[in-house]
Chains A and B, each alone.
Chain A
Amino acid sequence: MSNSKILQADIKISKSKDIRSLPGFSWFTLSFFIYLYLPLMILVFFSFNSSSSATVWEGFSIDWYFKAFANDDIQRATKNSLIIAVVSTFFATIFATMAALALSRNRKIKHKPMFMGLIILPLMVPEIVTAVATLTFFSTIGLSLGIGNIIIAHTVFCIPFAYMPIRARLQSMDKNLEVAAQDLYANKWETLRLITLPILVPGIFSGAMLAFIISIDDFIITLMVAEAGSNTLPIYIYGLVRKGITPEINAISTILLIISIMFVTLSYWIGKKR
């Protein structure tokens, strides 16, 4: 009898320790998510406003989307954004893959933790510092390739983002698979082509998507580096906002938001596969 009472008391204690049973926890959670997402929801909501006010609702319409799509400046900025993102994602992913392979498979490289740290370090450097440094660097060497400057800058800061999922995938891969391939008469190149890379594909994809979205979203570095005529979408939006917010901005932002969510979800989903 007394034993079971003690047991019950135990259970009560352990339950009350569980954070989910704290009074008001669900309200707290709810307000947290409202805090996070309400601004976004309002932004999306007013992109469908029929009047030109971004704060007073007057009726549903999708005119602003048509307006946005028809706007030459927006088209140009979008094109720039996409070119920059695609090209820099491509190169960043290649560099990241090679770095990950070298750092986890090449026995001859010494001080691997240091190199790994060097690759990931840019994630922790304040972006404004990177931006100023990049700008100074470009003007010092007199590099002026227009959109090319932005591509180079983006490629560099996208590398760590592409690197992380690729490295995670390589780490979780059974090293004996490569040994088994060699045991079955595959040379180093065949092992890489037939075993390592195919198994790495989800990691590479996931890394590429992260890099892409980081590039599309970037503002500070691009603002510093961009020359006249090579505006990207975020910079164009920033310029519009300074003139006053219209639902057109909401519409473009909503599209950007949807693209971002899509890519992040895809990246997460592919990275998780197998």
Chain B
Amino acid sequence: MSVAIKADNLRKIYSGNPPVVALKSASLEINDNEFFTLLGPSGCGKTTLLRLIAGFESITAGELCLYGNNISNLPPEIRPVNTVFQHYSLFPHMTILDNVAFGLRRLGTDKNKANSVAQEMLDLVHLGEYGARKPDQLSGGQQQRVALARALTPQPKVLLLDEPLSALDLKLRQAMRSELKRLQRETGITFVFVTHDQEEALSMSDRIAVMSAGEIQQIATPDEIYERPANRFVADFIGDANFYDAVAGKHKDELVEYIIDDITSLKGQRVESIKENDKVTLAIRPEKVSFVKAGDKDTLAGTVSDIMYLGNTTDYLVILQNNETIKVRAENHHNGEAIANVGEPVSLAINPAALRILKK
């Protein structure tokens, strides 16, 4: 597997008064033919990183390589990289076909050839009949696919997509997800996809880089990000989690007792880098907590304080004996009845393997 994009301590400061540090120091490797996602909250620097790769912004420090060639100082019109813009930015005065053929024409392909490739690409995104229209005669979803076709037609080595689905409604967005995955497989082009929607990221990506405040927090596959978040930010940003401060106790075989307070402790797996008496944060996904019969070994006792019905699942807020709250997510019975009612005493169990231990 070869590396498509290699970023080495990329740094971006927007000059101004005061200057804005949009990217502190980002290092990452994106593999050839990979669906790579940049995920993070608004303002964390995703677009900035993408614009650096495209060449729309100059790099303040660091190095950027494309298939081993240093492209840090190349202007955008020379980089074999294309972008799908958030608001599509189709050329309003050109027909759809001219829009899609634009890149090839500028690369010097003759008109007939460029048009026929553009037509093929339009067919690929199911818009073969729309070539003669102008962009403002298409719906949002259709414009989105034209933007995709336009960026794919010159067959770039890497395709950059900046929240391309954010302007679409939910149903269309879901349909476009599989459409995008299909296009990526069929064209074999490396996709770098920006989103702040975790569901989008988890469902489409080969790997995800989670970003926060100009820094990359973790790069891993979707299930790794979800099951083994590297820090509290990642655990909190992706999915739901309960967090507790604790101290590592003595270990017995591979299990360690993590002490939250005098009356509460949880068993979890031993982590190589954490020693006895180290301070840690425990993260527990709500769906990894289960209701058990009272009196079982290693259970937490508590009282249900609130219930939120979510369709296929229900969230129960349980107040533990130490007055901490824990959120428990359980699948609903066939008849839709609640497992426990507000005010009811319950016992909870947590599988030691499901307890994430994060260094403080």
| Interface residues, chain A, with chain B CB atoms under 8 Å away | 174, 176-177, 179-187, 190, 195, 198-199, 274
Contacts and interface: CB of A to CB of B under 8 A. Distances in A.
B91 A195 contact: yes
Interface in B69-88: 75-78, 81-83, 85, 87
Given A176-B85, A179-B56, A184 B150 contact: yes
Contacts of B83: 180, 183
B178 interface: no
A185 B77 contact: yes
Q: Looking at A180, A182, A184, A185, which has the most chain B CB atoms within 10 Å of its CB?
A: A184
B164 interface: no
Interface in B81-108: 81-83, 85, 87, 89, 91-93, 102-103, 106-107
Contact of B106 (A176, A177, A185, A199): A185
A182 B76 contact: yes
Contacts of B136: 274
B154 interface: yes
A19 B136 CA distance: 38
A174 B143 CA distance: 16
B54 interface: yes
A165 B308 CA distance: 56
Contact of B54 (A183, A185, A195): A183
Contact of A185 (B85, B87, B91, B154): B154
A177 B83 CA distance: 12
A183 B82 CA distance: 6
Contact of A180 (B75, B85, B107): B85
A184 B149 CA distance: 12
Given A174-B87, A176-B85, A190-B106, A183 B76 contact: yes
A274 B107 contact: no
A249 to B, nearest CB: 45
B89 A199 contact: no
A174 B89 contact: yes
Interface string B102-120: 1100110000000000000
Contacts of A186: 77, 102, 106
Given A179-B56, A199-B92, A199-B93, A187 B77 contact: yes
A181 B106 CA distance: 9
Contacts of B92: 177, 199, 274
Given A183-B151, A184-B154, 18 more contacts: A176-B85, A177-B89, A177-B92, A179-B85, A180-B89, A182-B56, A183-B76, A183-B77, A183-B83, A184-B77, A184-B102, A184-B151, A185-B78, A185-B106, A185-B107, A195-B91, A199-B91, A199-B92
Given A198-B93, A199-B93, A184 B106 contact: yes
Q: Looking at B75, B78, B83, which has the most chain A CB atoms within 10 Å of its CB?
A: B83
12 contacts: A176-B85, A177-B89, A179-B56, A179-B76, A181-B91, A183-B54, A183-B76, A183-B77, A185-B78, A185-B106, A190-B106, A274-B92
Nearest to A179: B56
B85 A182 contact: no
Contact of A184 (B75, B82, B87, B93): B82
A22 to B, nearest CB: 41
A58 to B, nearest CB: 55
A179 B77 CA distance: 9
A184 B147 CA distance: 12
A190 B113 CA distance: 20
A180 B83 CA distance: 7
A271 to B, nearest CB: 16
Contact of A176 (B87, B93, B154): B87
Nearest to A190: B106
Contacts of A199: 91-93
A195 B54 CA distance: 19
Contacts of B106: 184-186, 190
B103 A184 contact: yes
Given A176-B85, A179-B56, A185 B103 contact: yes
